[in-house]
Structure 1
Amino acid sequence: MSETIQEKLDNYKTAPFDARFPNTNQTRNCYQNYIDYHRCNKALEAKGQDLTPCQWYMRVYKSLCPNSWVGRWDEQIENGTFAGKI
């Protein structure tokens, strides 16, 4: 399984189509992948497992989200004021 994930990460170019977000506006897709990345990290760290599968979410949100949003969200997580449930 990790070989398949690693192959996907190596061949990654940009965010693939996600049927949950069929519209042109990809704001919700950006936000959901950001949340999924942090949830994945939290869950796998708690189990003491490798965090490599979470890299997929990070690459997707980094290709969809403006850097200013990500920076603001990171600050909010550090301050404990982030509105999303992680």
Structure 2
Amino acid sequence: MADDIEQKIKSYRTAPFDARFPNTNQTRNCYQNYLDFHRCSKALSAKDQDVTPCQWYQRVYKSICPMSWVAKWDEGIEDGSFPGKI
């Protein structure tokens, strides 16, 4: 299964369609994938497991989100003012 995930990550080109976000506005999709990446990383790190599967979420949010948003969210996580629940 790990090989299958690694293969998907290597052949990744752009964010695939996500039925949870069918509208043109992809703001919520961006934010949700950002949260999912950090939640996944936190959960797997706590169990001392490989966080490679979490890279999928990271690639999706990096292809959808404006980098200025990501930088602001990263700063919020660092200083403890991020509004999302990770």
TM band (smaller chain): over 0.9
Q: Which residue of 2 aligns with 1:34?
A: 34
Letter in 2 for 1:16: P
**How many pairs are equivalent?**
86
TM-score by length of 1: 0.99
Cα offset, 1:61, TM superposition:
0.1
Runs of 4+ in 1 over 6 A off after TM superposition: none
| Residue 15 of structure 1: aligned partner | 15
Equivalent-residue separation in structure 2 for 1:28 and 1:4 (angstroms): 28
TM-score of the aligned structures, taking structure 2 as reference length: 0.99
What CA RMSD, in Å, does the superposition of the two structures yield over aligned residues?
0.3
Unaligned runs of 5+ residues in structure 2 are none
**Corresponding position of 1:2:** 2
Cα distance in 2, alignment partners of residues 15 and 59 from structure 1? 8
Residue equivalent to 1:77: 77
Q: CA deviation at 1:82?
A: 0.3
Q: Distance in 2 between matches of 1:54 and 1:10?
A: 13
Q: Give the match for residue 43 of structure 2.
A: 43
Paired-residue identity, %: 72
Equivalent position SS for 1:43: helix
- What are the ranges of 5 or more consecutive residues in structure 1 without an aligned counterpart? none
